[in-house]
Copies of this chain bind each other. A is one copy, B any other.
Amino acid sequence: MPRAARKITDRQHELLEYLRSYQREYGVMPSTRDIQKHFGFASQTAAMSHLRALEKKGVIQRHSHKARAVVFPEDLGRAEIVDVPVYGSIAAGYGEMQEQQADGSIAVDVQTLGLRKGARVFALKVRGESMIGANICDGDLVIVEAREPRPRDIVAALIDGETTLKRYLVKEGRPYLQAENPAFPDLIPVTELQVQGVMQTLIRQAGRC
Contact = CB atoms under 8 A, between A and B. Distances in A.
A19 interface: no
A112 to B, nearest CB: 4
Given A66-B68, A78-B107, A107-B81, A199 B203 contact: no
Contact of A201 (B25, B27, B203): B203
A200 interface: yes
Contact of A68 (B68, B74, B81, B200): B68
B28 A69 contact: yes
Question: What copy number does this chain have within its complex?
Answer: 2
Tell me the dominant secondary structure on chain A's binding face: mixed
Contact of A112 (B63, B72, B106, B200): B106
Contacts of A153: 206
B202 A75 contact: no
A111 interface: yes
Interface string A104-128: 0011110110100000000000000
Given A63-B26, A66-B28, A136-B135, A108 B112 contact: yes
A48 interface: no
Contacts of A136: 135
Nearest to A104: B111
